[in-house]
A and B are shown apart, each in its own frame.
Chain A
Amino acid sequence: MKTTDTPPSATDAAEVPAQRAGTAAKSPSAPAKSGEGKVLNVFSHGVLVLWAIMVVLPLFWAVMSSFKTDTDIFNSPWSLPGSLNFDSWGRAWSQAHMSEYFLNTILVVGGSLVGTLVFGSMAAYVLARFEFPGNRFIYFLFVGGMSFPIMLALVPLFYVMDNMGLLNTIHGLILVYIAYSLPFTVFFLTSFFRTLPTSVAEAAIIDGASHTRTFFQVMLPMAKPGLISVGIFNFLGQWNQYMLPTVLNTDPEKRVLAQGLVELAASQGYKGDYSGLFAGLVIAMLPVLAAYIIFQRQVVSGLTAGALK
């Protein structure tokens, strides 16, 4: 296993044979200590590299397969593509309606993300900052929803949506996403609003601002780290959502990406068009991966800013 470590310096190099032979001393003396650090370093690098390979390899394999012809894919999974074959990409893009599915997904996830944050923070703010009869009850009603299996509600939900004329519509799906994201969002933001200082809001109220204005102009900006954090959680959750659209959204033209891909897997497979399928997968993967790599700092810091305290 080759590590990506930089070449060790001379003093370190002397110790390398010792640990290769597995004779790292276990006594708590100082030199051994650094030996232990050394072993740990090589070991930890080894393990970390191994997992990184396990993560990246399947993705790499998919990209590679999308350039191969079907016959090549059938004959050997690891052979390099003979030539860069872009036909499959064209096929996947045009036949699989990738662009439409992307648009639908962005609409649904975007709409529900905004809705979730707005409604979730409104409810959380009231629950965190105001005393009124029923406050605890409503709070627990929301929080309890976190452990409800969605599947149980799906059968009646399907008919409730149908009777409201929301089945197979983008806005219907958005409303359902919002409703099912509320428990976690309310739980998270309620505790977050409780940690915010009260003085600023009180000052605003004394200055004659209405509660509503105080919330939107004073509290929300203060709660930004929490909102970003819970927003990322919800984005990942809603982007990943497969069960809800599978049941509630069966109109082929309104499919979201996840459904589109599963459908593509079925239909490309029908035609034996594996390269087209891999191209479809890669097309679906790339924008998200690119976005993540560009914004990864914000994602990671946002994820942890509100989540840890």
Chain B
Amino acid sequence: MGSTSAQHNEGLGRRDLIKRSAALGLIAVPTMSFLSACASGSGDSGDDKVEKGEKTEKNPLAVNGSAPLEIVIFDGGFGTKYAEDARDVYKKTYPEAQIKFSATQKIQSVLQPRFNGGTPPDLIDNSGAQQMDMGVLVGKKQLTDLTPLLDAPSIDDPAKTVRDTLRPGIVEMGQFDGDPVWMLYYAYTVYGVWYSQTALDKLDATYPETWDDMLALCAKAKKQGIAGWTYPGKHPYYIPFSLYPFIGKIGGVEVLNAIDNLEPKAWEHPAVKAAFEAYYELYAKGYILKGTPGLDHRGSQGAWARGKALFIPNGSWVENEEAAIIPKDFKLSVGAPSSLDSSDKLPFGTIWASGGEPFIVPAKAKNPAGGMEQLRIMLSEASSKSFTSNTKSLSAFNGGTDGLELSDGLKSGVAALDKAGTNVVNPRLQDWYVKLQKEQIGVAALGEMMAGRATPAETIKKIQAFADATAKDQSIKHFRHQ
């Protein structure tokens, strides 16, 4: 440990000279440009793109088959196997292409300097806790419009365009302002109230279709020493996964759209108040698992998977994430928000389902055609099947589940989508205003309300103030539902 002796130091003299010259060389070699944070002096965006290839039937995007391609994938709940499989297909199609494939959990810290330096990769899965702010990227014109990809013929059936093969809502989600599609959400996530059918069976209960039944079931569970609900208290932005569709169900899609559009007084709608009060009742009646406000997502999911609580607001990735601890006979299922009363605008079954894992092709990518071609490959039936079997999740490709052995949660998700039909809502706050959704509405407002430290009325006032501040802040780019 840090002890230096005299003899040691004598040796250091010589070594130090070598070190010194090395350090001097290091400082002298780069030009002055390295000293500035924004080496934007080049300004040659687009000049250094690779040459286009020849447009053919098999190659509608005119990919240059010998050009290098770089892909960066988020290494999270879905793993990277599905992306590697798709990369291998590209490799087979264009054997001359040098493909650089890397995976990281820290998308932002790895890629931020490359965007800033104008040398981003060709295809990025911009996801995870460290995702780059989409609003900033779109606002600063850092992305390629993916419309050519959507209009290209699909791999499986050249008579259909890629656009025709996607699940409802995927294209719209990629639009932030007007027609261009800036990103393609590759995973298809079902959000809702997740529970164990086995646990309900033990209580002689079915999934409660009305809020009164929900409260009655929680009371019944409480007698057995089981909590009704838990949620990730450290990340309360999980609560909206079931609360937003609940609001939409009570008051209609317009309420959610007004919220997304940051309209003044959007949160003061009676539907919001009714939904908040219903959730607050869970706390007031003691149906929330003790200690929940201090649990992170793993802690709460762990407690829930071990049967300490019946319900948890979550997304379909939970099946993969907790695969290790969800018991074999758990019968994982997802429920749509229960009906508050008969005046609800939308029927029971209304659910939030939307894209996850947004893939982007940067505006300054060297090989944007290659990036889009890789996405086109991923949207083929074979790739989608590989994704579903690897991740127990649906992809943006509409279909691709035939002949696959579906897991419990996935089966239940597909059934929930069938039941919902066209009543699928898609709140956008978490894509458009990450900070507002996660930190302000989630942690600062809903987290406090569900821990019983703020009333619904106070919470609504607080959220409205946050939303107004976001609407007012000129340094944030604003978006609206089309």
Contacts and interface: CB of A to CB of B under 8 A. Distances in A.
Interface of A: 70, 74, 113-115, 117-118, 155-156, 158-160, 162-165, 167, 175, 212, 216-217, 220-221, 224, 227-228, 231-232, 234-235, 247, 250, 252, 263, 269-273, 291-292, 295, 298-299, 302
Contact of B1 (A160, A272, A295): A295
A74 B3 contact: no
A250 B109 contact: yes
16 contacts: A70-B325, A115-B19, A118-B16, A155-B37, A160-B35, A162-B117, A165-B30, A212-B13, A224-B5, A228-B3, A231-B3, A231-B4, A250-B109, A269-B298, A270-B298, A272-B324
A220 B1 contact: no
Contacts, number: 95
Contact of B34 (A114, A164, A232, A295): A164
B195 to A, nearest CB: 19
Given A118-B16, A232-B2, A250-B110, A269 B296 contact: yes
Given A250-B109, A269-B296, A271-B324, A159 B38 contact: yes
Contacts of A250: 104, 106, 109-110
B4 A224 contact: yes
A175 B25 CA distance: 14
Interface string B4-16: 1110011011001
B322 to A, nearest CB: 7
Nearest to B77: A270
B28 to A, nearest CB: 12
Contacts of B116: 159
A228 B4 contact: yes
A74 B113 contact: no
Nearest to A231: B2
A211 B195 CA distance: 77
A272 B302 contact: yes
A252 B109 CA distance: 12
Contacts of B109: 247, 250
Chain B contact residues (Cβ within 8 angstroms of A): what range? Answer: 35 or more
A252 B106 CA distance: 10
A295 B4 CA distance: 14
B317 to A, nearest CB: 11
Given A224-B4, A272-B324, A160 B34 contact: yes
A64 to B, nearest CB: 20
B144 to A, nearest CB: 23
B39 interface: yes
Contact of B33 (A163, A220, A298, A299): A163
Contacts of B117: 159, 162-163
B85 interface: no
Contacts of B296: 269
Contact of B12 (A74, A114, A228): A114
A69 to B, nearest CB: 12
Interface string B237-264: 0000000000000000000000000000
Contact of A302 (B3, B9, B33, B324): B3
Contact of A163 (B36, B322, B324): B36
B474 to A, nearest CB: 21
Given A115-B19, A159-B116, A291 B6 contact: no
Contact of B2 (A163, A175, A235, A270): A235
Contacts of A74: 302, 306
B321 interface: yes
A217 B12 CA distance: 11
Nearest to A229: B2
Contacts of B38: 159
Contacts of B4: 114, 117, 224, 227-228, 231
A295 B3 CA distance: 10
B394 to A, nearest CB: 21
B298 A298 contact: no
